[in-house]
Amino acid sequence: MRLLHTSDWHLGRSLHRAGLADAQRAFIDHLVATVRTRRVDAVLVAGDVYDRAVPPLSAVRLFDDALHRLAALGVPTVMISGNHDSSQRLGVAAGLIGRAGIHLRTDPAGCGTPVLLADEHGDVACYGLPYLEPALVREEFGAPAGGHAAVLGAAMDRVRADLATRPPGTRSVVLAHAFVTGGTGCDSERDISVGGTAAVPAALFSGVDYVALGHLHGCQTITDRLRYSGSPLAYSFSEAHHRKSMWLIDLGPRGELAAERVDCPVPRPLARLRGRLEELLADPALAPHETAWVEATLTDPARPDEPMARLAERFPHILSLVFEPEREPGAPGTSYAGRLRGRSDQQIAEDFVTHVRGGAPPDPHERAALAAALEAARSREG
């Protein structure tokens, strides 16, 4: 059986001020085309369909279009809710939608009830484990306190108990939205540690032929049978070096597994540039990044005039500007307050100006103005 594993669509999300609606629509086109041309038997979507609990109408329309197109191909789709989704909203009309072959698994109580897929070699039991917030589902599973591992472990116990009742040779697939130990995160993922310890061990999923994971945005392999597809698009500059893709999984008659990465379309590359403003404006080696979405980190000791506007002349798609002034070698690493001890009022005032201007001290005219202001203040006190 050939499975296409994807996750973390985050429909409705943008990258800084750049809208991604067209890029997300292009991804859905690519997904549908891949299902058709690669003869996919089932699609697995491992959570975070939307970027927030109440998505914009444009995102809902795109999701609706994706479901209609997948249903029209006659290819079953199994989809779970993630920590960004509202499980109740996403699961509305799940029973009715299921008749069209789109199986939404958003209710924790249904973790042990699989979607049964079949090929010429028999059944594949596909279990959808939606994102399980420990504080909200602990009672449902009768799990002890202990965070995500406790509730996911209890959910997997239900999976294994149901699987034990299936005919011998039944293959198994689990969809889960979690942070599995050994995975590598990035800046665009929402922390899921509110309800307890976030990371769960890979061994928790033992006894399953394939685990389609969602939550982490980088495509990665925890073990041969536990994989993150990652997000189809970059949602932060920390993903600048990600290769965005989906997993094409071939599940053999006895659970043998072969995996292939299918690249996703890249709407515009991301680039993280670092240096002084004049260097970034003049360096010919940066020419390939002139069409990229850019995050620039300026290291000028003093903040330059109009840096964003000047950078935009060369990099018209710049989205983010960060300041990290270079310090002189051997500059003290103590706090600003510590550097003030034992200094005169004039020195403190000059140090303050130097500090807030990223290392540029006041010029003679400014020093004279500071001295006059301090003298006027002392006169008033007297």
Per-residue pLDDT tens digits for 34-74: 999 999 999 999 999 999 999 999 999 999 999 999 999 99
- Print the SS3 string covering the chain: CEEEEECCCCECCEECCEECHHHHHHHHHHHHHHHHHCCCCEEEEECCCECCCCCCHHHHHHHHHHHHHHHHCCCCEEEECCCCCCHHHHCCCHHHHHCCCEEEECCHHHCCCCEEEEECCEEEEEEEECCCCHHHHHHHHCCCCCCHHHHHHHHHHHHHHHHCCCCCCCEEEEEEECEECCCCCCCCCCCCCCCCCCEECHHHHCCCCEEEEECCCCCEEEECCEEECCCCCCCCHHHCCCCCEEEEEEECCCCCEEEEEEECCCCCCEEEEEECHHHHHHCHHHHHHHHCEEEEEECCCCCCCCHHHHHHHHCCCEEEEEECCCCCCCCCCCCHHHHHCCCCHHHHHHHHHHHHCCCCCCCHHHHHHHHHHHHHHHHHHC
- What's the pLDDT at 194? 43
Confidence band for 352, pLDDT divided at 50, 70 and 90: confident
Residues 41 and 119 sit within 8 Å (Cβ to Cβ): yes
Residue 338 predicted with pLDDT over 90: no
Range of lowest pLDDT (9-13, 282-286, 360-364): 360-364
Q: Which residues partner with 43 through β-bridges?
A: 4, 77
Confidence band for 196, pLDDT divided at 50, 70 and 90: very low
- Domains in the chain, please, with CATH? 2-263 (3.60.21.10), 269-326 (no CATH), 335-382 (no CATH)
Indicate the average pLDDT of the chain. 91
Q: Distance between CA 266 and CA 22 in Å, rounded? A: 11
- What's the pLDDT at 355? 73
- What's the pLDDT at 77? 97
Residue 132 predicted with pLDDT over 80: yes
Q: Which residues partner with 11 through β-bridges?
A: 50
Please state the rounded mean pLDDT for residues 74-98.
94
Please state the rounded mean pLDDT for residues 172-193.
87
Where is pLDDT greater, at 79 or 371? 79
Q: Distance between CA 128 and CA 46 in Å, rounded? A: 8
pTM for the whole thing? 0.83
Q: Distance between CA 79 and CA 76 in Å, rounded? A: 10
Per-residue pLDDT tens digits for 152-168: 999 999 999 999 999 99
Residue 316 predicted with pLDDT over 70: yes
Confidence band for 365, pLDDT divided at 50, 70 and 90: confident
Residue 185 predicted with pLDDT over 80: yes
Confidence band for 195, pLDDT divided at 50, 70 and 90: very low
Where is pLDDT greater, at 172 or 190? 172
Residue 143 predicted with pLDDT over 50: yes
Start-to-end Cα distance in the chain: 89
Confidence band for 337, pLDDT divided at 50, 70 and 90: low
